Chain A
Amino acid sequence: MNWIILLISIVLVVVAMGWLKVQWTRWRPMRLRTATEDALKLLYVSWQADRLLTLDALAGGLGWSPRRALELLEQMEQTGLVRSKDQGMELTEQGQQLATQITRTHRLLERYLADEAGWPLGSLHHMANRIEHQLTDTQVEALNEHLGHPQVDPHGDPIPQLGHTPEPLLRQPLTDWPEGDTLAQVVHIEDEPAAAMRQVLAIGLRPGVVLKVQSRQGHLLELNVGGVIRTLPAAVALGVHVKLAEQASVQTGETMKLATLSRGKTSHIVYLADSCRGLARRRLLDLGFTPGAKVQATFSDAVGATRAYRIRDTLIALRREQADQILVRPCCSPVVESN
Chain B
Amino acid sequence: MNRSLDLENQPSPESSDSGSSQVLLERVDQLRQGLSGRFHDEVVQTLYDDARRIADRSVRHQGPERFHLGEHMDKLITHPILGLPIMGVLLAIVFWLTVTGANIPSAIIAGALMQDGGIAAPLEQYMGITSPAWMSVSLYQLLHNVMAWAGSPLWLTGLSLDGVYLSLAWVISVMLPPMMIFFPMFTLLEDLGYLPRVAFNLDWMFKKAGAHGKQALTMSMGFGCNAAGVIACRVIDSPREKLVAILTNNFVPCNGRFPTLIMIATLFVATRFPPAWSSVAAAGTVVAVVLLGVMITLLVSGALTRTALKGEPSAFTLELPPYRRPAFLQVIYTSIIDRTIFVLARACWVAAPAGALIWILGNVNLEGQSLAAYGIRWLDPMGQVMGLDGVILLAYLIAIPANEIVVPVMLMLYMQHNRMIELENQAMSNILLEHGWSMLTAICLMLFCLLHNPCGTTIWTIWRETRSRRWTIFATLMPLVLGIIACTAVATIARFF
Which A residues have a C-beta under 8 Å from some C-beta of B? 116-120, 145, 148-149, 151, 161, 248, 271-272, 274, 278-288, 290-293, 298-299, 301-303, 305-306, 308, 312, 314-319, 321-322, 336, 338-339
CA distance A55 to B338 in the complex (A): 66
A298 to B74, CA, bound (A): 10
Set of chain A residues within 8 Å of B33, measured between Cβ atoms: 151
CB contacts (< 8 Å) of A318 on chain B: these are 316-318
Asked whether any CB of chain A lies closer than 8 Å to the CB of B260, the reply is no
Q: Mark B317-352, 1 if CB is under 8 A from A, else 0.
A: 111111000000000000000000000000000000
Q: How far is the CA of A274 from the CA of B40 in the complex (A)?
A: 12
B83 touches A117 (CB 8 A): no
Contact A317 B240 (CB under 8 A): no
In contact, A284 and B317 (Cβ under 8 angstroms): yes
B44 and A286 within 8 A (CB): yes
B374 within 8 A of A: no
Known contacts: A145-B9, A274-B37. The answer to whether A322 contacts B200 by CB under 8 A is no
C-alpha gap A148/B311 in the complex (Å): 22
By a CB distance below 8 angstroms, the chain B residues around A271 are: 38, 41
**Contact B44 A290, beta carbon cutoff 8 Å:** yes
Contact B48 A288 (CB under 8 A): yes
Residues in chain B near residue A339, CB distance under 8 A: 52
Q: Looking at the complex, which one of A117, A161, A283, A301 makes contact with B80 (CB distance below 8 Å)?
A: A301
Nearest to B237 among chain A residues (CB) is A283
B1 touches A291 (CB 8 A): no
CB neighbours (8 Å) of B71 from chain A are 298
Which listed residue (A292, A319, A322) contacts B45, Cβ 8 A?
Answer: A292
Q: Which one of A151, A285, A302 contacts B44 once the chains associate, using CB atoms below 8 Å?
A: A285
* Alpha-carbon distance between A308 and B71 when the two chains are bound, in angstroms: 11
A312 and B310 CA atoms in complex are apart in Å by 34
List 18 contacting pairs A-B, 8 Å CB cutoff, sorted by A: A117-B239, A118-B240, A118-B312, A119-B310, A145-B6, A149-B5, A279-B237, A280-B315, A283-B315, A287-B319, A291-B38, A301-B80, A305-B203, A308-B320, A316-B320, A317-B200, A321-B316, A322-B315
Assembled-state Cα–Cα distance A317/B37 (Å) = 26
A263–chain B nearest beta-carbon distance, Å: 12
Query: Are A306 and B317 in touch, CB under 8 angstroms?
Result: no
Say if the beta carbon of B271 comes within 8 Å of chain A: no
Q: A293-B48, A308-B320, A319-B203 are in contact. Are A148 and B41 (CB under 8 A)?
A: no
The answer to whether the Cβ of B495 comes within 8 Å of any Cβ in the partner chain is no
> Does B48 lie within 8 Å of A317, measured CB to CB?
no
Residue from A120, A284, A290 whose CB has the most chain B CB atoms within 10 Å: A290
Hey, which chain A residues are within 8 Å of B37, CB to CB? Answer: 274
| Interchain CA distance A285-B29 in the complex, whole Å | 25
With A and B bound together, what is the CA distance between A280 and B312 in angstroms? Answer: 11
Q: Output the residue of B29, B45, B74 with the most chain A CB within 10 A.
A: B45
Return A152 CB to nearest CB of chain B, in Å. Answer: 8
Q: How far is the CB of A127 from chain B (nearest CB, A)?
A: 10
Name which residue of chain B comes closest to A303, CB basis: B204
Determine whether the beta carbon of A149 is less than 8 Å from that of B32: yes
- Point out the residues of chain A lying under 8 angstroms from B316, CB to CB: 306, 318-319, 321-322
Q: What's the tally of chain B residues with a CB closer than 8 Å to chain A? A: 49
- Known contacts A283-B237, A299-B78, A314-B319; is-contact A305 B314 (Cβ 8 Å): no
Interface set, chain B 1-53, CB cutoff 8 A to A: 1-2, 5-6, 9, 29, 32-33, 35, 37-38, 40-41, 44-45, 48, 52
Smallest CB separation, B31 vs chain A (Å) = 11
Contact B38 A305 (CB under 8 A): no
Say whether A306 contacts B204, CB under 8 Å: yes
* Chain A residues positioned under 8 Å from B52 (CB to CB): 339
Chain B interface residues toward A at CB < 8 A:
1-2, 5-6, 9, 29, 32-33, 35, 37-38, 40-41, 44-45, 48, 52, 65, 71, 74-75, 78, 80-81, 83-84, 200-201, 203-204, 207, 213, 237-240, 310-322
Task: Report the bound CA distance from A330 to B78 in whole Å.
Answer: 25
Contact B312 A148 (CB under 8 A): no
Q: Give the shortest distance, in Å, between A320 (CB) and chain B (any CB).
A: 9
Hey, which chain A residues are within 8 Å of B45, CB to CB?
Answer: 290-292
CA distance A248 to B310 in the complex (A): 33
Among B38, B313, B317, point to the contact of A287 (Cβ < 8 A).
B317
- CB-defined contacts of B78 to chain A, threshold 8 Å: 299, 301, 308
Contacts of A148 in B (CB 8 A): 1-2, 5, 40
Supposing A148-B1, A151-B32 touch, asked if A117 and B44 sit within 8 A by C-beta, the answer is: no
CA distance A290 to B40 in the complex (A): 10
Q: What residues of chain A lie closer than 8 Å to B81, measured between beta carbons?
A: 302
Query: Could you say which residues of chain A place their CB within 8 Å of the CB of B240?
Result: 117-118
Given contacts A151-B33, A319-B203, contact A280 B314 (CB under 8 A): yes
Nearest chain B CB to A302 CB, angstrom units: 4
Residue of A nearest to B77 (CB): A299
Known: A316-B319, A318-B316. A306 touches B40 (CB 8 A): no
Min CB–CB distance A296 → chain B (angstroms): 11
In addition to A148-B5, A298-B74, A306-B203, 17 A-B residue pairs with Cβ atoms within 8 Å of each other are A116-B239, A118-B238, A119-B311, A145-B9, A278-B314, A287-B317, A288-B48, A290-B41, A291-B38, A291-B45, A298-B71, A305-B204, A306-B200, A308-B74, A319-B316, A322-B317, A336-B65
Which residue from A248, A286, A301 sits with its C-beta under 8 Å from B203? A301
Please, which residues of chain B bring their CB within 8 A of the CB of A286? Answer: 44
Give the CA-CA distance A287 to B240 in the complex, in Å.
20
Residue of B29, B74, B317, B321 touching A283 (CB-CB under 8 A): B317
Q: Find the B residue at minimum CB distance from A164.
A: B29
A-side contacts of B40, CB under 8 Å: 148, 281-282, 285
Tell me the complex Cα distance, A292–B52, Å. Answer: 13
Minimum C-beta distance from B62 to chain A (A): 14
Q: How far is the CB of A237 from chain B (nearest CB, A)?
A: 24
A308: nearest chain-B partner, CB-CB: B320
> Hey, which chain B residues are within 8 Å of A119, CB to CB?
310-311
Nearest residue in A to B26 (C-beta to C-beta)? A163
Contacts of A322 in B (CB 8 A): 315-317
| Least CB distance, B91 to chain A, in whole angstroms | 17
**Known: A315-B320, A316-B320. Contact between A279 and B41, CB under 8 A?**
no
Chain B residue at minimum C-beta to C-beta distance from A336: B65
Which of A271, A285, A298 has the largest number of chain B CB atoms within 10 A?
A: A285
Please measure, in the bound complex, the distance between the C-alpha atom of A145 and the C-alpha atom of B2, giving whole angstroms.
9
Which residues of chain B are near A288, meaning CB under 8 Å? 48
- Contacting pair A117 B314 (CB below 8 A): yes
- Chain A residues contacting B80 (CB-CB under 8 Å) are 301-302
Closest 8 CB pairs of A and B: A118-B314, A315-B320, A280-B315, A317-B318, A290-B45, A302-B80, A305-B204, A285-B44
Closest A residue to B70 using CB positions:
A315
Chain A contacts of B320 at CB under 8 A?
Answer: 308, 314-317
Most chain A CB within a 10 A radius of its CB, from B6, B32, B75, B314: B314
Closest residue on chain B to residue A161 by CB atoms: B29
Residues on B with beta carbons closer than 8 Å to the beta carbon of A319: 203, 207, 313, 316
Report B298 CB to chain A, min CB distance, Å: 15
User: CB-CB < 8 A to B237: which residues of A?
Assistant: 279, 283
Q: Nearest Cβ in chain B — how far from A204, in angstroms?
A: 15
Contact call A321/B314, Cβ cutoff below 8 A: no
Collect the chain A residues with CB atoms within 8 Å of residue B239's CB.
116-117
The chain A residue sitting closest to B47, CB to CB, is A290
Interface centre among A298, A302, A322, A338 (most CB of B within 10 A): A302
